[in-house]
Every structure is written in C-alpha cells, then in structure tokens.
Amino acid sequence: MSPWLVLAGLGAFHGINPAMGWLFAVALGLHRDSRSALWLSLIPIAAGHAVSIALVAAAIVFLGLVVEPQLLERVAGIFLIAWAAYYAVYGHRHRVRIGMTTGLAGLGLWSFLMATGHGAGLMLVPVIIPLCLSASPAGELTASGSLPVALAAIGVHTGALLATTALVAGVVYEWAGLAFLRQGWINMDMIWVAALLATGLILIL
Amino acid sequence: MATWKPDPSFYPSPRMAAKAPIEKLAYVAAFDPDRKKPDAIAVVDVDPKSATYAEIVGQVEMPNTGDELHHFGWNACSSCLCPNAPHPHVERRYLVVPGLRSSRLHIIDTKPDPKNPKIVKVIEPEEIAEKAGYSRLHTIHCGPEGIYVNALGNGEGKAPGGIFLLDHDNFEVLGQWEMDRGPQKLAYDFWWHLGHDTMVTSEWGTPDTFENGLVPEVLLGSKYGRRIHFWDLHKRKHLQEIDLGEEHQLVFELRPAHDPTKAYGFVGCVISLKDLSASIWTWYRDGSKWAIKKVIEIPAEPADPDRLPPILKGFKAVPPLVTDIDLSMDDRFLYVSCWGTGDMIQYDVTDPFKPKETGRVRIGGIVSRATHPGARNGALNGGPQMVEVSRDGKRVYFTNSLYGAIDPQFYPEGIDGWMVKLDVGDNGGIDFDERFFVDWPKGHRPHQVRLEGGDCSSDSYCYP
C-alpha cells in the first residue's frame, strides 16, 4: 500500500478517537450553543496534533542524521513498545489542565498533550522512516532530502485527521447526538496500545 | 480492569440520566453512636415488586469500631465521559466509604453480589495524614482527576481542612488537591461546575469544635463556618470567597445545577443567630465573579420550653436546622431537610431566584414527633436529614440521624433510626410511600443514602 495512504488512514484512525478532539469540539458547540464554536475549535485541535507529530518526525530525522537507518528503526521500535506499556498503565493518570471554558490556545495545548501522551506521532514512525529514506538518492537520511517529505507526511496525516474530526463532530452535533456514546464508545485505548505494539514490532522485526 | 464499553450507568447528560432504569437497591451508611460495635453499609431493597421491599437485605460491617461512616460515594461516574479527560472504560463498582471520626477510608466492592458487598481495601488514617495531610474524612465525589475526598481537619486534626485525590483504579492516595488555598481554612462539603471549571467548597468547623457536639460559645460567637469558596477546578487555585454574614452559621450542602451550561447552585445554611431561621442561598455567575443571594428563609417555630432540649430552652423555639438539601436531575425541584422541625420541603426552583414551595411532609421533629403510616410507636424522633433523589426524580429517600455527638443535643433521649421514601407527583407534590418505613435496627443509626447506578448527588456531567 502507498505510504501516503497509510498516513491518511492513520489520520482517520486518530480522528475517529473521541479522545483526540471531535468530542471536545461537540461539547464546546453544545456549551456555547454555537455551531461556529464547534468549527472554530477544529483548527487548534488539528494544529496541536500536527505539532505533536512534527516533533516526533523532527526527532526521527535528526536521529537519522547521526545513526544508521537500521539502528534507528530498532531504537524507535523499542521506544514504541515501551510507550505502549507506559500508556497501558498510566494512560489516563495525568493532571487535567484544560476544561470546558478553555480558549483556542488552551484547546491547541490540550490537543498537543493528548496526541503526545497517546503516542500519535510514534505510530507514524514506520511510515516516515522509509519515506524519508526513499527521498534521497543514496538511501541515506539527509536533512535537505527529508524535510519536504516529512512536512508532506505531516500534512497528509493532519489533513485526514482534520477531515475525520470535522465529519464525526458535524454528524454528532447536527444529527446523531451523544446518546450513542454509552454503547458505541469502544475502548480505543486498548486498540491504541495494540497499534503501538504492532508498530514497534514492525520496526524491530 | 479496563472494560470494552463504558459502564452502562454513565450518561453523557443529566437529561439522559433522568431516563435511567429505576433503582432496586439503596446503600445506606449506618453507625453506632456508642462506638462499641462496627459501623456498616446496609443494603436496602427499594424494588416495590420485591417480597423484601423496604427491608435491609444485606450488610457489610467495617473492620473497626468508631468510624462514624459519612458521605460515601462511587469510584467512577458519568464525569468519566467528559471530553477533556475521557476515561469511560471503568466500572462504577466500588463504594468509597469515609469514617468522619476515624479518618479511615474503606473501599467496598458491590460487583459480584450487589446485596452482599465486600471490603477490598482499607486505607488507614496514618497513610492519609502522611500522603495528603488530612484527617476527618467527610465527602466523596468521583470526578475528572479521579476520586476526590474532602476532610474537615489537617493531619493533626486542626485547620485547614481540604480535599485530596485517590486513584480510581488502585485507590492509592495521590496527595493534596489544593495548590493555592488562599484564605480557606474550614471545610464541609464540595462539588463543582464541570462546565465552568469551578470547584465550590463550604464550611463547618475544626474537629475540636464538633467532635464533642456543637459548642454554644463557638456558635454564638459566629466562629463556625459562614463562607463559601470558589476555586479554579483545574489550576486548583482559590479564586474567591463569599461571607454570608456574621449571623449565618454552618454552611453545609452544596448542590450545583446538574446542567453543565448553568452557572448556579444552592447551598443550605443551618442556622441564623438572629432568629434561629435556616436559609437557602443561590450562588450564581455575575459578570466575571461569583455572587450569592438568599432565596429561602425558613423561620423557627415557637415552642413550649418544657418540650425543648436544654440547648434550646432559652430560645423558646424550634429551629428548622436545614442540614441537607438535594436537587433533582432536571434542576427543577430542590428538597430541603429540616432536621429540627421535622419538615421535608419541596421547592420548584425552575427560577433559581424565586423558589416556590410545592410540597411538604412532616415526620419526627424535636417537638412535633410526627409519625408515619408504617411506624408502630406513633411518635418518631430524629428528623429528615440525609436526602437522596432518584435519577428520574420520582422517588425521594431520607434518613434521620445527623452526627453521633450532635444527635443528643437536639434529641436528648437518643435517636431511633428510620428511613422513609416519598413519591413525587409529576408537577411536584410529595407524599409518603406508606409501604416504605425502615425501622432501623437498634444499635445503628442511618445516615447517607446512595442509590444503585447513581443518584442526584453522585454524578456530574459535561454535556447539556
């Protein structure tokens, strides 16, 4: 499958998770009784997510400049598995810093913290490394070769996340309502842990 | 353990919670005022179709004596669905039961057999004092950062009282909640407006001023609590205090509107030094500040001094003593317990600044000793006290004991425990369910009631 499709698919996967922002957007729309509050909140949600992803991508590219690609994949894989273990145990045990009266900056910070805590960027590493490698003719990671590819990867992922978040938030706010959460909110955290583990294993093996 | 779907008793909004299935069991804290036998959580059958309706069908005893079990709560509730701190894949399963006198915390599992709950963990007062710096545990609420427990004293039993956090999975004491307590010293109740990121706390007094009963000099000197405090719920920082004034003493139960978009709530003040009246106040958002207004004043009733306990003889009147209030899930009806006069009053608070009385029953009372159709002896003591409303607002349960050391100051012959239930009319109005009178077994007095699956003072919501 095209790595770009995988990036977009992971964007949709992240976007569909209530903990990544669509639910917060719906809640803010309901609280302020304002459709525009919902749509406006999508911008910081996407931005916070993109910054979190970008930091991971930057770290990968930077590491790639100093270590061999194979070693890089191993290190990243071990890190992902460790993160999965951390998240399984401590995922929801953190300070709650942002509440329902938050402004757009607070919402952006919230989205950044949620994406980072969930390891959203780490999940993209197995796709980003080969993309960056293929961008340079010698099959090595170079800053000049990697930068545009990494930026494009972040753009594709965030675009898919934003589209999914907007779609789900819009449908729930306008038609579906929140009652379905009682039955329909399956434990995304378990799926995330499995996804992080699988991603880590892909990198190592 | 994490579950695959949210607990079925979690509801996104109070509107949805009001349509929840009817409760079949109630959990009731029961304590021994003589501190000789262990306190217990009793299980009362509240299913009218059951053969054991209005009977105690199970009980779990505490491992020690003298705890004085108080306002217990659930490990998790509907606030787990909040968008900013989502973690809905936990079970509403454990009761967190504090001892007000012992400062001990009990975790009780209601899951395998709801009628036969079991203690799974006991946290000793030393651990709480060391990790959180508090003692005299009073009220439990499940909320955004785990389980919140408030305490009336610090680790040494002095001021300040405050709040600490408990992990809702493993029940470890996480530490003190406050980061900046400002001028707050006294504690009693606490709750919050999740929609407005605001914590509200109220005031009673330090343990030395209530553990041997109310101290008349402290009361008449207006040294008990008379303020409410507003906090930033997430920064854990004191924002504002409001003094109800020198005449108002003992600011107790806080009932914020369930609808998270509304920024108002009700608090009861037990007694006025001016005329022994009790009052209900509405706090509300006024611009960028919180404000408060007295909306109900319940007068004292003149009485023959011969029929009054020593503490009241000189006043020749029975104070209403509003010791608990509860707000229905739709924020429409406020129930007010008058532990002194024996009244349970229902107000329509659709307009929170203009309450209208819509129902009143009388049972017990310092002078009235009103009876109940289901009672045998015809002269009940104690009065309406801890009150709980079903999620659909159709049933109201209450018990008659306040606090072991204070009960005999107002009911010198002691209190014979009872628990009763009211049926609520569609547009207000309250009546006793004649079939529901729990003549509480001697040796224990009933206190806080919690309903299976949640009730009107257990859950908070993030969506309107």
- Residues A144-154 have pLDDT tens digits of 778 888 999 99
What's chain A's average pLDDT?
92
User: CA angle B445-B449-B454, nearest 5°?
Assistant: 165
- What CA–CA distance (Å, rounded) separates B448 from B119? 18
25-44 of A, contacting B, C-beta below 8 A: 26-27, 30-31, 33
Pairing state between β B73-74 and B317-318: unpaired
- What CA–CA distance (Å, rounded) separates B365 from A154? 70
From chain A, pick out residues whose CB is under 8 angstroms from the CB of B260.
Answer: 31, 100
**What pLDDT is recorded for position A145?**
76
- What CA–CA distance (Å, rounded) separates B356 from B349? 7
Cα-Cα-Cα-Cα dihedral sign, residues A24, A25, A30, A33: positive
**What pLDDT is recorded for position A146?**
81
Q: What's the distance, Cα to Cα, between the start and end of chain B in Å?
A: 29
The answer to whether A123 and A56 are in contact (CB under 8 A) is no
Closest CA to B389 of B58, B46, B76: B46
**What pLDDT is recorded for position B122?**
98
- What CA–CA distance (Å, rounded) separates B140 from A171? 37
Q: What is the DSSP letter of A172?
A: I
**What pLDDT is recorded for position B394?**
98
* A9 and B CB contact within 8 Å: no
**What pLDDT is recorded for position A91?**
75
- What CA–CA distance (Å, rounded) separates B205 from A154? 57
Bridge partners, residue B430, by sequence: B424
Interval B28-77: pLDDT, tens: 999 999 999 999 999 999 999 999 999 999 999 999 999 999 999 999 99
* B314 and A CB contact within 8 Å: no
What percent of chain B shows pLDDT beyond 90? 98
- What CA–CA distance (Å, rounded) separates B176 from B154? 10
Tokens 């349970």 appear where?
B344
| ipTM of the prediction | 0.95
Assess whether pLDDT exceeds 80 at residue B278: yes
Rounded average pLDDT over B17-21 = 97
**What pLDDT is recorded for position B156?**
97
Interval A159-174: pLDDT, tens: 999 999 999 999 999 9
Q: Greater confidence, A88 or B307?
A: B307
**What pLDDT is recorded for position B66?**
97
Cα-Cα-Cα-Cα dihedral sign, residues B372, B375, B379, B383: negative
Interval A40-66: pLDDT, tens: 999 999 999 999 999 999 998 888 888
Assess whether pLDDT exceeds 70 at residue A139: no
- Cβ neighbours of residue B406 under 8 Å, at least 6 residues apart? B210, B213, B214
- What CA–CA distance (Å, rounded) separates A28 from A38? 6
CATH class of domain segment(s) A3-204: mainly alpha
Q: Where are the domains of chain A?
A: 3-204
The answer to whether B140 and B127 are in contact (CB under 8 A) is no
| Interface contact flag, B463 A178, Cβ < 8 Å | yes
**What pLDDT is recorded for position B87?**
92
Tokens 């105690």 appear where?
B56
Interval B391-417: pLDDT, tens: 999 999 999 999 999 999 999 999 999
From the CA of B112, how many Å to the nearest CA of chain A? Answer: 22
Q: Where are the domains of chain B?
A: 14-451
Residue B160, preceding bond cis, omega within 30 degrees?
Answer: yes
27-86 of B, contacting A, C-beta below 8 A: 81-86
**Which residue in chain A has the smallest CA separation from B80?**
A92
Q: pTM of the entire structure?
A: 0.97
From the CA of A76, how many Å to the nearest CA of chain B? Answer: 27
User: CA angle A170-A176-A178, nearest 5°?
Assistant: 95
**What pLDDT is recorded for position B308?**
97
Interval A63-90: pLDDT, tens: 888 888 889 999 999 999 999 999 888 8
The answer to whether B336 and B269 are in contact (CB under 8 A) is no
Lowest-pLDDT range of A132-136, B254-258, B333-337: A132-136
Tokens 């400062």 appear where?
B103
3-state secondary structure of B231: strand
The answer to whether B401 and B446 are in contact (CB under 8 A) is yes
Tokens 């009211």 appear where?
B422
Report the CATH superfamily, name and number, of domain B14-451: YVTN repeat-like/Quinoprotein amine dehydrogenase (2.130.10.10)
| Interface contact flag, A92 B87, Cβ < 8 Å | yes
* B175 and A CB contact within 8 Å: no
- Residue of A98, A100, A186 lying closest to B4 (CB–CB): A186
Interval A91-104: pLDDT, tens: 777 889 999 999 99
Phi and psi at B195, nearest 5°, equal -75, -15
Interval B140-193: pLDDT, tens: 999 999 999 999 999 999 999 999 999 988 999 999 999 999 999 999 999 999
User: CA angle A92-A93-A96, nearest 5°?
Assistant: 85
- What CA–CA distance (Å, rounded) separates A96 from A92? 10
**What pLDDT is recorded for position A137?**
66
- What CA–CA distance (Å, rounded) separates B250 from B39? 26
- Residue of B5, B87, B261 lying closest to A183 (CB–CB): B5
From chain A, pick out residues whose CB is under 8 angstroms from the CB of B464.
Answer: 30-31
Buried/exposed B445-460: b ≥16 CB within 10 Å, e otherwise:
bbbbbbbbbbbbbbbb
- What CA–CA distance (Å, rounded) separates B46 from B53? 6
Pairing state between β B322-327 and B173-176: unpaired
pLDDT band at A141 (very low <50, low <70, confident <90, very high): low
The answer to whether B319 and B268 are in contact (CB under 8 A) is no
Distance of CA B111 to the CA centre of its chain: 24
Interval B414-434: pLDDT, tens: 999 999 999 999 999 999 999
pLDDT band at B435 (very low <50, low <70, confident <90, very high): very high
**What pLDDT is recorded for position A133?**
80
Question: CA of B345: how far to CAs of B267, B335, B431, B433, B457, in Å?
Answer: 15, 6, 11, 16, 17
Closest CA to B279 of B322, B236, B332: B322
Q: What's the distance, Cα to Cα, between the start and end of chain A in Å?
A: 19
* Helix H or strand E encompassing A75: helix A69-90
- Residue of B86, B197, B464 lying closest to A99 (CB–CB): B197
The answer to whether B316 and B308 are in contact (CB under 8 A) is yes
| Interface contact flag, A181 B145, Cβ < 8 Å | no
How many C-beta atoms surround the C-beta of residue B245 within 10 A? 15
| Whole-angstrom Cα Rg for chain A | 17
**Which residue in chain A has the smallest CA separation from B8?**
A182
**What is the helix, strand, coil percentage profile of chain A, to 5?**
80, 0, 20
Helices and strands, number each (H, E), in chain B = 5, 30
